Amino acid sequence: MPYVVKKAVQDYARRNNMKVSADFYAAMDKQIDALLVAASTRCKDNKRKTLKAYDL
């Protein structure tokens, strides 16, 4: 499941005079997935169902 909006990443890269390789998006999605898994684990461990900023 992709989490990243490619256009937003491309716009960021252009504003910073950079380019984005095709494999970057999959790697970024993998990092985001790991972050979400860790946050949801922390949330569940604290017996909550709502993800909060401090779970990150």
Residue type, 35: L
| pLDDT at residue 1 tops 90 | no
Q: Does the reported pTM lie above 0.95? A: no
Instruction: Give φ, ψ of 51 to 5 degrees.
Output: -70, 135
pLDDT tens digits along 14-49: 999 999 999 999 999 999 999 999 999 999 999 999
Domains of the chain: which residue ranges? 6-55
**7 CA to centre of own chain:** 15
- In which element (H, E) is residue 10 found? helix 6-15
**18 CA to centre of own chain:** 20
Torsion over CA: 3, 14, 56, 25 (sign): positive
Length of the chain: 56
Instruction: Write down the pLDDT at residue 39.
Output: 98
Instruction: Write down the pLDDT at residue 26.
Output: 94
| pLDDT at residue 9 tops 90 | yes
